[in-house]
Amino acid sequence: MVTGLFIAAIVVYAGASVGFLVARSRAAEWITRVGVDLLLIGAGLQMIGFVSRAIASGNMPVTNFWQTVSFLAWVTAVASLVLILRFRMAIIGAFVAPLVTLASAAAAIAAPRPRLSIPPSLRSAWLPVHVTLACGGFAMFVLAATVSLAYLICERRLKAKRPLEASADRTPSLEKLDRVNYRLLLWGFVMLSLAIVTGAIWADAAWGHFWSWEPPETWSLIIWMMYAALLESRLTAGWRGRRIAALTIVGFTVLVGSFVGVSLIAPGKHGGSFG
């Protein structure tokens, strides 16, 4: 049943991707609404799957890398819905929905047989707090990258004197895209900071030390410093628009590479305890 829910969610996400992409090529607002509805349904199905798996296992279902990827995809889908509805930015659906679909499908295909339990020493309230904050921060960075990509595409069209859609729902102004990008980066940085702090507290409770300089911890610190520098450059150097959008995409590329590479090659206790 649980596996069926995740498969159904992937199919619905794929439908949302088609809807958003078609809506970008055809001026049909109703197709955009269908894409939003399908994204919402997919997130709902995936949430039910997570809850069912959590009840069966007695802990949060993030016991291996691919389960974490699936959870991250769900968090990103939920965050994108908030962004689309709150800031009227349906344009990002064409970028986010395919990413969520691919990540969820990869997790479903590559995930080993789910491990239903974790070591007693790690059964802690810090698990959902730490993982949710980390995935929430990563989701903000995913959305910041998609907003930045939308910015660069829209700017290029304007410079080429190619008309954009008249509806603000379909194509927000460059100023709005830049402002939302900053907010996403800021929220992502705050969440990542809290994830590092809660992870250190949890590590001290479980293993007797706050920090061990394992690859996941080291790269988390590197990513934190990278985004701190990105925000600092915006606040003090006044970097805006195209430059900050390009750097956001570069930072996201580094984030994805470190997240996937470290998790699969040198996960340390993050992999050994949860795999």
The domain tally of the chain equals 1
Question: What is the per-residue pLDDT for 272?
Answer: 45
**Residue 172 to residues 51, 164, 235: CA-CA distances in angstroms?**
36, 10, 23
Question: What is the per-residue pLDDT for 166?
Answer: 42
pLDDT band for position 241 (cuts 50, 70, 90): confident
Q: Of 168 and 138, which is predicted with more confidence? A: 138
**Residue 26 to residues 18, 19, 29, 83: CA-CA distances in angstroms?**
12, 10, 9, 22
Determine the Cα–Cα distance for residues 231 and 47; give it in Å rounded to an integer: 32
Provide the token pair at 212: 């061990």
Question: What is the per-residue pLDDT for 168?
Answer: 40
Determine the Cα–Cα distance for residues 68 and 127; give it in Å rounded to an integer: 12
Q: What integer is the mean pLDDT of 29-42?
A: 91
Burial of 30 (0-12, 13-18, 19+ CB in 10 A): exposed
User: Torsion-angle region of residue 93: left (phi > 0), alpha (psi -120 to 50) or beta?
Assistant: alpha
pLDDT at 167 over 50: no
Three-state DSSP class for residue 171: coil
Q: In the 8-state DSSP scheme, what is residue 92?
A: G
Among the ranges 60-69, 72-81, 127-136, 240-249, which has the highest mean pLDDT value?
72-81
Q: Residue 125 is part of which domain span?
A: 2-272
Question: What is the per-residue pLDDT for 179?
Answer: 93
In tens, the pLDDT along 4-17 reads 888 999 999 999 99
Question: What is the per-residue pLDDT for 263?
Answer: 72
Q: Of 271 and 18, which is predicted with more confidence? A: 18
Query: How far, in whole angstroms, is CA 154 from its chain's centroid?
Result: 22
